[in-house]
């Protein structure tokens, strides 16, 4: 009997501890999510909203600007994420070498881009790639370019600059995850592989990658998610231009809400479209990479 009251009391105290966090999650996360979903079912401008069922979602498929922004983001995703993750993996493997000297200095340098603000890194890259910027001057000095290239006003080169900026900013971040993952791998596995005569590259592909699979999966999902929600870089480097050649989905949401006549209902539908895309892509990635 006494045992039961004690359990009860412990439970009650436990609930007290949990309640603040629960309330905050409900109020700051779940409530806005539900409310945004309800908003996505309404159409109209400003506060003049009416329920319109799934019309906003049907509208997405005819919206050429939305489809272009999805295409842009997928281009970033398909090119940038594999390059970045590969680079991060290579860097992590190099940094994990026990014989490497000055390891902490290298690690700091590689992680440093993550400590810079997205906006300032975007502005700096923008100035690098302006007509009289560093990139043009360097390429002309090397004789690769004859006249300055207008990077940011060309649909393809503008995308290139954005991909470069994201890669610079996030490679170090992913490297840290891989480093943590690598340190979990028992050194003795490599030792025995070496005794068996496996080359370094063979060790990398046969031991490192398979054992890092959960971490690789995690970073892939995070990067996919991050790229689909890309905003700061595009807004600050090209503002979506030239035309809408670099427009990201998030920036389109911003335009729909704050630049054009506010259509919050439709903007909410676009953000739910991102959610659905992230969910589908994550599901595919888990299915493809998660077999244990």
Partner 1 sequence: MKRTLYIALTLLLVMTAVFGAGKGEVKPVTTDPDAPVTLTVWCWDPTFNIYAMNEAAKVYAGIRPNVTINVVETPWDDLQQKLITSLSAKATGNLPDIILMQDNAIQKNVMTYPDAFVSLTGKMDLSQFAQFKVDVGTVDGKNYGVPFDNGATGTFIRRDIIARAGLSVGDFTDITWERFIELGKIVKQKTGIPLISTVANEPDFMMIMLQSAGTWMFDSQGKAYIKDNPVLKEALRLTKEMVESGVCLLVPDWNAYIATLNNGTVASTINGCWISGSIQAEKSQSGNWAVTNTPKLGKIPSSVNYSSQGGSGWMVMANSKHPDVAIDFLAQTFGGSIELYETILPTSGAIATWLPAASSSVYSMPIEFFGGQPIYEDLVSYAGKVPNVKYGVFNYEARDAVARALSDVMQGGDIDTALATAQKSVEFLMME
Q: Is 159 in the site for partner 1 (CB under 8 A)?
A: no
Phi-psi map region of 239: left, alpha, beta (phi>0 left; psi -120 to 50 alpha) = left
Token pair listed for 146: 């004859």
Could you tell me the CA-to-CA distances from 70 to 33, 36, 63 in Å, in that order?
22, 20, 11
Are 120 and 112 contacting, i.e. CB atoms less than 8 angstroms apart? no
Residue 74 corresponds to which tokens in the numbers above? 């997928």
Cβ at position 276, least distance to partner 1 in Å: 21
CB of 68 to partner 1, least distance (A): 10
Would you count residue 33 as binding partner 1 (CB under 8 A)?
Answer: no
Which is nearest to 83 in space by CA: 203, 220, 278?
Answer: 220
Among 243, 284, 286, 288, binds partner 1 (CB under 8 A): 243
Decide if residue 51 touches partner 1 (CB under 8 A): no
Asked if 38 touches partner 1 (CB under 8 A), the answer is no
If one counts every other C-beta atom within 10 angstroms of the C-beta of residue 88, the result is 25
Size of the site for partner 1 (CB under 8 A): 40
Among 258, 287, 291, 292, binds partner 1 (CB under 8 A): 258
Taking the complex as a whole, the smallest distance from the CB of residue 2 to partner 1 amounts, in Å, to: 21
261 is a contact residue toward partner 1 (CB under 8 A)? yes
Stretch that binds partner 1, among 105-113, 151-159, 171-179, 204-212 (CB under 8 A): 151-159
Asked if 272 is part of the footprint of partner 1 (rule: CB under 8 A), the reply reads no
The nearer residue to partner 1, 33 or 131, going by C-beta atoms, is 131
DSSP string, the chain: -HHHHHHHHHHHHHHHHHHHHHHHHIIIIIHHHHHHHHHHTEEEETTEEEE-TTHHHHHHTT-HHHHHHHHHHHHHHHHHHHHHHHHHHHHHHHHT-TT-SSHHHHHHHHHHHHHS-HHHHHHHHHHHTSTTSHHHHHHHHTTS-SS---GGGSHHHHHHHHHHHHHHHHHHHHHHHHHHHHHHS-HHHHHHHHHTT--HHHHIIIIIHHHHHHHHHHHHHHHHHHHHT--HHHHHHTTT-STTTT--HHHHHHIIIIISS--HHHHHHHHHHHHHHHHHHHHHHHHHH---
121 binds partner 1 (CB under 8 A): no
When the beta carbons of 219 and 246 are compared against partner 1, the nearer one is 246
Q: What is the nearest approach in angstroms of partner 1 to the Cβ of residue 16? A: 11
Binding status of residue 134 toward partner 1 by CB under 8 A: no
- The answer to the question of residue 131 lying near partner 1 (CB under 8 A) is yes
- Give the residue with the Cβ less far from partner 1, 48 or 188: 48
Q: Is 250 a binder of partner 1 (CB under 8 A)? A: no
**One of 1, 2, 5, 47 touching partner 1 (CB under 8 A):** 47
From candidates 17, 61, 64, 105, binder to partner 1 by CB under 8 A: 64
**Quick one: which of 5, 62, 104, 188 contacts partner 1 (CB under 8 A)?**
62
Selected binder of partner 1 within 155, 160, 211, 221 (CB under 8 A): 155
How far is 40 from 135, CA to CA, in rounded Å? Answer: 43
* Site residues for partner 1 per CB under 8 A: 15, 19, 22-23, 26-27, 31, 43-48, 59, 62-65, 126, 130-131, 150, 152-155, 241-245, 255, 257-264
């Amino acid at each position: 009997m006494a045992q039961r009251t004690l359990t009860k009391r412990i439970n009650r105290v436990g609930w007290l501890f949990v309640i603040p966090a629960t309330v905050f999650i409900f109020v700051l996360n779940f409530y806005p999510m539900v409310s945004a979903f309800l908003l996505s079912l309404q159409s109209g401008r400003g506060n003049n909203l009416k329920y319109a069922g799934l019309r906003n979602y049907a509208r997405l498929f005819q919206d050429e600007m939305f489809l272009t922004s999805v295409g842009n983001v997928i281009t970033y995703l398909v090119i940038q994420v594999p390059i970045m993750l590969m680079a991060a993996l290579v860097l992590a493997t190099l940094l994990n070498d026990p014989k490497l000297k000055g390891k902490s200095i290298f690690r700091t340098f590689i992680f440093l881009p993550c400590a810079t603000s997205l906006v300032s890194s975007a502005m700096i890259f923008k100035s690098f790639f302006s007509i009289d910027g560093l990139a043009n001057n360097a390429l002309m000095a090397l004789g690769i370019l004859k006249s300055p290239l207008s990077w940011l006003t060309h649909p393809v080169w503008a995308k290139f600059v954005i991909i470069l900026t994201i890669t610079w900013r996030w490679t170090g971040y992913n490297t840290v995850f891989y480093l943590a993952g690598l340190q979990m791998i028992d050194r003795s596995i490599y030792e025995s592989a070496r005794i068996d005569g496996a080359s370094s590259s063979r060790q990398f592909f046969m031991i490192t990658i398979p054992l890092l699979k959960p971490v690789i999966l995690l970073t892939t999902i995070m990067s996919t998610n991050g790229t689909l929600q890309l905003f700061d870089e595009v807004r600050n480097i090209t503002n979506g231009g030239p035309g809408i050649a670099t427009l990201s989905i998030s920036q389109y949401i911003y335009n729909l809400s704050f630049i054009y006549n506010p259509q919050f209902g439709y903007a909410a539908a676009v953000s739910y479209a991102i959610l659905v895309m992230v969910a589908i892509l994550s599901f595919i990635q888990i299915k493809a990479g998660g077999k244990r």
